[in-house]
Amino acid sequence: MRGALLVAGTHSDAGKSVISAGICRMLAREGVKVAPFKAQNMALNSFVTRDGAEIGRAQAMQAAAARIEPEADMNPVLLKPSAERQTQVIVNGKPWAMAGARSYQGMKKDLMPVVLESLDDLQRRFDVVICEGAGSPAEINLRENDLANMGLARAANLPVLLLGDIDRGGLFASLFGTLALLSPGDQALVAGFLVNKFRGDPAVLAPGLEALHLITGRPFFGTLPWVLGLGLDGEDSLALDAPRPVKPPLGGRVIRMAVARFGRISNFTDFDALAHEPGVEVRFTESAEELKSADLAVLPGTKATISDLKLLRLRGLDGALAERARRGLPTLGICGGYQMLGRRITDPGGIESSEWEVPGLGLLPIETVFEGEKVLSRPEGRATMFEDQPVSGYEIRHGRVRRHGGDPIFVTDDGEQEGCRVGAVIGTSWHGVLESDGFRRSLLRWVAGERGLDWVPGDESFAAAREAQMERLGDLIAENVDREALLRVISDGPPDDLPIIRHQTSGFRRQENGSESADWRMKAGSNGEVSALDSARFAGPDIGPNGPKYLKAET
């Protein structure tokens, strides 16, 4: 089979990333050569491909679900907010521009050819491409020059599967309202619906599914149950609000880890591997007391190092960290957090800040200078300070760190020294190192020893746990989605005669180049006009057995 599909959602965090990954895994298990794609992603949680391109982390995880190597074509445009109303635009894996919200809208026309070229390249090399939308396709203020949702679907003639999260409430209104806000040309590509995170008796849900099918003429491809702990690496800092379960300890004690929650925190999935270990509690916090009392305090990565260093001081976290250093309590800094632990940070080119230089926390003998060219690499080496364990990671940074003392914690395969340790304070520029099982467990044994804790590591590799998660996602789709209907839409596209919900507006007619920007004012078709719906009319003669061909909404 060959084809493509766009998975859109009624809102952000509806489950688009997870469902796209699940479809990728289901198809990959069947021998289909499948690839993920997201035209435009906004995320501070990114990943570096083996050839040094930066893409959204969700697409890297979806590639793993598809059992292929991540590449830049899978996410040609990545937006990384770096300050209030300012975003770094990454194109084809490399920094391309800095933009505000308005100026970025003007860039979209130039970026659409880039997006379509990447999608076309994937379609040439793979049997199926599963595309993930962004936010909601009904964000009508952003429809013009849209890259990620219906603009992409129209330009590439992609069938669209519209996903709704029933756990949020308002499922039917969200699905119907999203469809109704689309122009007829956009609606024609929406092939059907999918329900996500359903809890309860399916028989109770069935009448609503049938009613919405009759109203819109679109089928439901399936209802996915709510499954505890099922998901991908989070990209949005809202994921930090969700409580993280603690696996029962194998020893007598739990290691408590506190991660400073910065305003522009990035790559916070670095710490998922720590939570994978039995008896490790991971909390993201703004509290100086929590940071001070934790067994391990962590300063994570950030897209705005100088700004978040100011925020850290404003919250009094600098005093907590200084006290930890005096008492010999373990403290870890990663990338931007590592840079904060040093003596000073210099940004002469205004890469991340308008300030030329700011003092660091002074807990490590390092200095950082920001440069325009971003470091993007996948280093490997050994953790010389931690039982000489093998370690690998990835780098995403403008800062160049120079060490003036202390001991390195890693040595690369090329013999270069990385990171710094002084007493119980350690830091590294490498993200992802905690996914290296041997290093992670050695680090935690060190923390337990420094704190006098009886802690025992687990024996399951983090990579194996990730792979098991991918299999669960594949099972979720295979067991709860109409496979034949899904494959038919991927291969053949949406049916030609899908009903269109028509709007008759009163006074709204936006003119662009002498023509209407939306064709919602067209008259209803021969099956009649319906301005109000109720249960008594679902099977009435005005609607018929297959639903209305046209539906007129008074606005």
Are the C-beta atoms of 281 and 253 separated by less than 8 Å? Answer: no
DSSP 525: -
CB-based contact 396:430 (threshold 8 Å): no
Instruction: Give yes or no: 431 in active site.
Output: yes
Buried-state track 281-297, b at ≥16 Cβ within 10 A, e below 16? bbbbbebbebbbebbbb
Contacts of 264 (CB under 8 A, 6+ apart): 44, 81, 82, 83, 302, 303, 304, 307, 308
Q: Where are the beta strands (DSSP E) in 465-534?
A: 500-504, 511-512, 515-516
- For residue 40, give the nearest of 124, 149, 140, 145 by alpha carbon: 149
DSSP string, 347-415: -TT-SS-S-SEEE---SSSEEEEEEEEEEEE--EEEETTTTTEEEE-BEEEEEEEEE-SSB-SEEETTS
Instruction: Look at residues 499, 487, 494, 497 and name the one whose alpha carbon lies nearest to residue 158.
Output: 494
Catalytic position from the list 276, 398, 420, 431: 431
Q: Strand order of the sheet with strand 160-165?
A: 34-37, 128-132, 3-9, 160-165, 190-198, 220-225
The end-to-end CA distance of the chain, in Å, is: 43
Q: Name the DSSP letter for residue 481.
A: B
**Catalytic hit among 24, 131, 276, 335:** 335
Name residue, tokens 């926390």: 361
Cα four-point dihedral sign 351, 355, 361, 363: positive
Strand partners, 369: 346, 400
DSSP secondary structure string, 320-344?
HHHHHHHHT--EEEETHHHHHTSSE
List CB contacts of 432: < 8 A, sequence separation 6 or more.
267, 270, 392, 393, 394
SS (H, E, C) 34-77: EEEECCEEECCCEEECCCCCEEEHHHHHHHHHCCCCCCHHHCCE
- For the beta carbon of residue 316, count every other beta carbon within 10 angstroms: 15
Residue 505: count other Cβ atoms within 10 Å of its Cβ. Answer: 12
What is the number of alpha carbons within 13 Å of residue 158 lying toward its C-beta? 30
Q: Could you give the residue numbers annotated as active site?
A: 335, 431
